[in-house]
Amino acid sequence: MPELPKIPSVSEMMALASDYMPFIPKPAPRYVSEAGKPVHGIIAQFSKTPAVVHAAERVRDAGYTKWDVMTPFPIHGMEESMGIKRTILPAIAAGAAITGVAGALAMQFFMNSDYNIVVQGKPFLAWEPFTPITFELGILVTAFTCLFGMLALNGLPRFHHPLFARDRFLSVSDDTFFICIEASDPNFDPARTRALLESVGAESIELVEDEDR
Amino acid sequence: MSSIHPDKVTAERLAGLREAAHTPGRDEGPSLGDGSLVEDPAIRPPLVLSQRTHSEVTQIVCGYAEDPPPKWWFIAITISSTVAAVGTGMILYLIITGVGVWGLNNQVDWAWDITNFVFWIGIGHAGTLISAILCLLKQRWRTAVNRSAEAMTIFAVICAGIFPGIHVGRVWFAWMLFPIPNSNGIWPNFRSPLLWDVFAVSTYATVSLLFWYMGMIPDVATLRDRADRRLRLGVSKPFMVALPGGREVQLPLPKPDTLRAYIYGLMSLGWRFSSRHWHRYEAAYLVLAGISTPLVLSVHSIVSFDFATSILPGWHTTIVPPYFVAGAIFGGFAMVLFLLIPLRALLPNFKDLLTIRHIENMAKIILVTGMMVGFAYSMEFFIAWYSANKFEFEAFANNRVNPRVAPYWWAYWTMIGCNVLSPQVFWFKKVRQNPWAVWVVAIFVTVGMWFERFVIIVTSLHRAFLPGEWGMFYPTWVDILTFAGSCGIFLTLFLLFVKFLPVFAMAELKAVMPDADPHPHDDDHGEDH
Amino acid sequence: MSQTQAPATSIPIPERETPRAYLTEAQWRKRLDKLAAHPAMRHDNIHLPEGATTKLSGLLLIAGAAALVITILGAFAINARHALAAFEVGLFTCVAMSLGALFLTMVFHSLNAGWTSTVRRQFENVASLLPVCWVMLLGVVLIEVLGGGILLTWLSEEMAGDHLLEQKSPFLNVGFFGVRFLIYGLVWLVLSQIMVRTSLKQDETGQRGLTRVMRFNSGWGLLVFALTTAFFAFDFLMALDFRFFSTMWGVYFFASAALASVSVVVLVLAVLKGMGRLTGAVTEEHFHDLGKLILSFTVFWAYIAFSQYFLIWYSNIPEETAWYVYRTGEGGYKALFLVLAFGHFVAPFCILLFRKVKRITGLLAFMAAYMIAMTVADMIWIVRPMVYVGEHASENPGVWGGIWLDAAGIVAPLCIWGFFLVRAVGASPLIPLKDPMLHEALAHKNYV
């Protein structure tokens, strides 16, 4: 089964909205750092692809749900290692394609019957000449849905994120891999989570605070 | 492995007791050239040379986007933007005066305008082909060329869009092309091939742009992060401009890195390289590739319908849709090579990412598509004769081929020479593996593909059914300068792209490097690449 | 790059050598040994037991012979034109499958494809039947020539004075037709034998160089393939109506050929999987990719078929349009036209889009069989309307009259061809044993 969006509770929706809209109050943090700031999570750094894939499998098996692996490039097979379900994006795209095709046909049928032009004695509503535009509009709507659907499912654009505040994290776009286990995960425990990340061979481990609050 | 000590082997060899060195047989020749030309069918040639690390790839690609541009870049962009400005002036002159400033006449009422349109839209096909079709075919070498080819696609489509836009004369009525409700109560004619063009080209431009942009999001995020890190470390330089006298002046502008962090930051939409995001990103990329492939085929097919739905001899022939598509890919790859081979020489670090193997592969595609185009030419000619339709055969034999009666015979034979004969040299490996030889053929092909459209359009129009409808086309200076201007616009945009955006798809390149393999094999050296 | 070091611009990129990547003969042999130890390469997994195919091939031979006898009887009972047309429908489908398999074998070689290594042997088997097809075609040609143009009306005496035929006679005459027919046979024989024999030789010797031999021959092979396929389609399908012409015709036949060949290979592989073979060698990943090929050739066929129809429909020139008038008009051909539009494109396109359909062997095998049936329907649509045209219209027994003759005629060549295919599958290892890209095919996986 591909991933299906779960219907979030009101508090989850408020928490999500607060990530994007500063005027919405953030939920009370589960953990607070020594500096008195809310804890976003713990990140662990890796420098080799096999190491991070192996570590991800261990974190998955430990039962965490709110965690993520940041990699400079998509790693083949990471979905399996992280236990991510297949995305529903292709299904959404198929829906968009049907919409585009239906819309284009409806538009052409309506407009050519609303305003009849005699061309070469062809039938006014022949399907043949409608094919090119029907096809093109189907593609156009699908393409927009693909890009914006991908962004929406990913919760992007989101220009601010606690991870960006960590100097170390910026090298993710170069050649470094990170695993981040978030404090909102029900299994999260500062000591045990850190111990797990240490045991999977992390090269360094850092606490990520939510600098915003 | 030999049980003899290697020093003993050397000693014996020097003493003439052994063969001078291991002479590789046909099966196991060592790699040639830059190291990408592996001749062993059991080995995948390396896609990135010199054992580059991921970090070095980032540095190579971002370095050129962050460094001050080299001198040749300033010279090139000065020339190309001047030409572009002249072309823009010509467009304004045409709009102010009317299409009479071109050499069109009652007989040849489509000429350079539509030739240029089809030429540019054809060039635009290689980018989407590389990103979409080669992606579906799992051709991993495409990662080195897809970004620049996609960029080229968009710039070529921009150039293509100019000509149909202005050739209608009164451009302020261009809104009538679109189904916009209006007080006249009229709607566009959906049975007109020219209207299909409007939808096809605008869809193609939009989808190519989305595809290009989506591919660029992670790489732009890399540029953002690099600028951000320099700012945090306080090593960013102020905005300086070098004057001709060797002096440097500071401009009252934010630091370049601040600008980069903001602009690239906005463009990258807060991409944070999450695997959960990558998963959906790759799914979206695959779907986009899947829909772009039929899109590429459809766009040039629809362009070909402009001609083939008519009953004009020379235009109406059923093979035209796939033949136009093959020609577009052919011309598009030639343009990719025409741009990338000099770029590779001028920005030498790119040689590790864009290898001779890439050039050879593209030369092979040019050979294949050139043969397809040649196949279509011969089918057209054969069926023109086989149809036993006098007009159809005349349109080929006496309006194009025969030098004694066809005034445009030189255009036809230029087309044949450039498109069918010149790529034949690619049967030879030596030529395919020589970048500058490939470059020369690419120029020939580009010229040939322009002439192909010229031949199709002008030679079919200049002799209609009655001799009273016969005429010739002579381009005016406005025709010539408008076409030159479109080349200037194209080159200017490409030079700006080379300077300001990542020319290689870094994330995709990194993913096909050996370091990216999550399960590296523990085989002996040389086993797995 | 460590975090303390700023990514400043203009950092010099260190010079480094590219390692010379190639396997020495010893390393190559070592890899072959390793491959031989792969669990998928067990002998009984990639070979059929002696005599496993005799039952099926015998059945096919008997069925084919029976159908052939019925067809010959039908030729006397109903109409020789009808019987020949039905036989040609089946035969052209066989030719399409074999030609398409030859094409794809050569494409796999020239693209240096890795994942196809384990499925390529079945493409080679299908392609190796081209001489069989040619012999059956020879029978058709002899009947046509000796019978004075039964379906190929340009051969008949009655058409001798036709203006169009006189114009075309330098091409449409018995001598040149015979020469062309010999050339097709020769080219197909040489190409299919090069591909099949070289591959079998590699099974024994394990020479990597043989892959390069096949790659080299694929280059020029594809060129002569394109020409012979196009002219075969002109001679045997387009020339059924010598007045009709379409530059697209060769490509149209090629589209069917590629589609039908992948379909038949999927069927063969599914049967072999059903017999408990090819475990680990041909997995759902391979079926997924073969399914993608079926999907894309379905779309390609639709693109070519639509473009050809559309351009002729739009221009509406009598000499071309007549061909479509027959095929969208009376006698059930309008219905067949719609069956092709929906059954050959819309329905399979929508079904094959689903990932699961491509990955479940049974479902994909069903779709493959269905696509072969649709290719047959396409051939019926091309050939059959030419039986009762003109002065023969009065003999028309209707759509369902003589359906048994249509069925027998179509089944006969398919069964005979199937007999040879089953024998070919049983005669050699089911996958190339020492292909240089075998390790990639064994580890093949579709990500995303």
Q: How far is CA A12 from the centre of its chain?
A: 16
CA–CA min distance C372, chain B (Å):
23
C37 inside 8 A of chain B by CB: no
Per-residue CA distances from B60 to B336, B499, C8 (Å) = 20, 13, 12
Taking CA–CA distances from A94, the nearest residue in chain B reads B287
Q: Which residue is associated with the tokens 């491959």?
A: C35
Check residue B369 and give its pLDDT: 93
Give the contacts of C265 (CB within 8 A, at least 6 positions apart): C101, C119, C122, C123, C126, C290
Residues in chain A with CB shorter than 8 Å from the CB of B54 are 72-73, 174-175
Q: Where are the alpha helices (DSSP H) in B234-355?
A: 256-268, 275-308, 320-346
Q: Count chain A–chain B contacts defined by CB atoms under 8 A.
A: 219
Contact A167 B232 (CB under 8 A): yes
Taking CA–CA distances from C313, the nearest residue in chain A reads A128
Q: Which residue is associated with the tokens 């001709």?
A: B244
Contact B233 C25 (CB under 8 A): no
Give the contacts of C408 (CB within 8 A, at least 6 positions apart): C67, C68, C70, C71, C74, C86
Segment A45-61 shows an average pLDDT of 90
Task: Name the residue among B171, B173, B198 with its Cα closest to residue B186.
Answer: B173
Q: What is the mean pLDDT of chain B?
A: 86
The first and second tokens of residue C192, run together, are 């299919």
Rounded Cα–Cα distance for residues B120 and C1 (Å): 42
CA–CA min distance A11, chain B (Å):
23
Contact B387 C319 (CB under 8 A): yes
Domains in chain A (CATH in brackets) are 37-86+160-209 (3.30.70), 89-153 (no CATH)
B318 inside 8 A of chain C by CB: yes
* Contact by Cβ (8 Å): C345, C370: no
CA atoms C201, C124, C413, C246: torsion sign: negative
Rounded Cα–Cα distance for residues B492 and C4 (Å): 38
CB nearest C310 (choices: A76, A120, A128): A128
Question: B37 pLDDT exceeds 80?
Answer: no
CB nearest A77 (choices: C2, C309, C447): C447
Rounded Cα–Cα distance for residues B230 and B252 (Å): 20
Taking CA–CA distances from B290, the nearest residue in chain C reads C296
B7: confidence class by pLDDT, cuts 50, 70, 90: low
CB nearest B318 (choices: C17, C209, C248): C248
CA–CA min distance C8, chain A (Å):
13
Question: B232 pLDDT exceeds 80?
Answer: yes
Radius of gyration of chain B (CA): 27
Segment B313-341 shows an average pLDDT of 91
Taking CA–CA distances from C309, the nearest residue in chain A reads A128
Interface residue of B387, B424, B506, B524 to substitute, partner C, most C CBs within 10 Å: B387
ipTM of the complex: 0.93
B228 inside 8 A of chain C by CB: no
Contact A120 C1 (CB under 8 A): no
Contact C22 B63 (CB under 8 A): no
A98: confidence class by pLDDT, cuts 50, 70, 90: very high
Q: Which residue has the higher pLDDT, B140 or B39?
A: B140
CA atoms A175, A181, A183, A189: torsion sign: negative
Check residue C400 and give its pLDDT: 80
Check residue C5 and give its pLDDT: 46
Check residue B217 and give its pLDDT: 94
Task: Name the residue among C295, B202, B297, C315 with its Cα closest to residue A128.
Answer: C315
The first and second tokens of residue B340, run together, are 């990338």
Range in B229-238, B442-451, B472-481 with the lowest mean pLDDT: B229-238
Range in B351-355, B486-490, B494-498, C119-123 with the lowest mean pLDDT: B351-355
CA–CA min distance C7, chain B (Å):
6
A127 inside 8 A of chain B by CB: no
Taking CA–CA distances from B521, the nearest residue in chain A reads A50
CB nearest C223 (choices: B319, B349, B371): B371
* Contact by Cβ (8 Å): B58, A175: yes
Residues in chain B with CB shorter than 8 Å from the CB of A68 are 274-276
CA–CA min distance C2, chain A (Å):
8
Chains in contact with C via at least 3 Cβ–Cβ pairs below 8 Å: A, B
Q: What is the mean pLDDT of chain A?
A: 87
Radius of gyration of chain C (CA): 25
Contact A131 C310 (CB under 8 A): yes
Residues B102-122 pLDDT 10s: 988 888 888 899 999 999 999
Q: Where are the alpha helices (DSSP H) in A62-130?
A: 78-82, 89-114
- Three-state SS across B224-266? HHHHHHHHHHCCCCCCEEECCCCCEEECCCCCHHHHHHHHHHH
Task: Name the residue among A60, A42, A63 with its Cα closest to residue A52.
Answer: A60
Range in B354-368, B485-499, B505-519 with the lowest mean pLDDT: B505-519
What are the E-state strand segments in chain A?
A: 39-46, 67-70, 177-182, 204-209
Q: Which residue has the higher pLDDT, B460 or C20?
A: B460
CA–CA min distance B517, chain A (Å):
7
A2 inside 8 A of chain B by CB: no
Contact B322 C248 (CB under 8 A): yes
Q: Which residue is associated with the tokens 């329907």?
A: C377
| A67-70/A204-209 β-pairing | unpaired
Check residue C12 and give its pLDDT: 66
Give the contacts of C432 (CB within 8 A, at least 6 positions apart): C117, C118, C120, C121, C199, C202, C203, C438
Cβ within 8 Å of B, A 54-93: 56, 68-79, 81-82, 84, 86-87, 89-90, 93
Give the contacts of B118 (CB within 8 A, at least 6 positions apart): B160, B303, B324, B453, B457
Residues B233-253 pLDDT 10s: 888 888 888 777 778 888 888
Check residue C11 and give its pLDDT: 55
CB nearest A68 (choices: B179, B221, B274): B274
CB nearest A128 (choices: C313, C353, C447): C313
Per-residue CA distances from C248 to C234, C251, C313, C376 (Å) = 10, 5, 14, 20
CA atoms within 13 A on the CB side of C51: 0
Question: B528 pLDDT exceeds 80?
Answer: no
Check residue B331 and give its pLDDT: 92
Check residue B22 and give its pLDDT: 42
Residues in chain C with CB shorter than 8 Å from the CB of A171 are 1-3
Segment B74-92 shows an average pLDDT of 94
Contact C306 A131 (CB under 8 A): yes
CA–CA min distance A158, chain B (Å):
5
B521: confidence class by pLDDT, cuts 50, 70, 90: low
Q: Which residues of chain C have pLDDT under 70?
A: 1-12, 19-20, 448
What is the residue type of B513? M
To which H or E segment does residue C420 belong? helix C403-427
C171 inside 8 A of chain B by CB: yes
Rounded Cα–Cα distance for residues B472 and B483 (Å): 20
B380 inside 8 A of chain C by CB: yes
CA–CA min distance B406, chain A (Å):
32
Check residue B56 and give its pLDDT: 85
Q: Where are the alpha helices (DSSP H) in B168-245?
A: 193-233
What's the whole-model pTM score?
0.91
Check residue C246 and give its pLDDT: 92
CA–CA min distance A171, chain C (Å):
7
Check residue B212 and give its pLDDT: 92
Question: B25 pLDDT exceeds 60?
Answer: no
* Contact by Cβ (8 Å): A65, B507: no
Contact B526 C112 (CB under 8 A): no
Range in A2-6, B230-234, B346-350 with the lowest mean pLDDT: A2-6
Q: Which residue is associated with the tokens 């037991």?
A: C49
Chains in contact with B via at least 3 Cβ–Cβ pairs below 8 Å: A, C
Task: Name the residue among A206, B349, B235, B226 with its Cα closest to residue C1.
Answer: B226
Rounded Cα–Cα distance for residues C282 and B5 (Å): 45
Cβ within 8 Å of C, B 440-479: none
CA–CA min distance B273, chain A (Å):
5
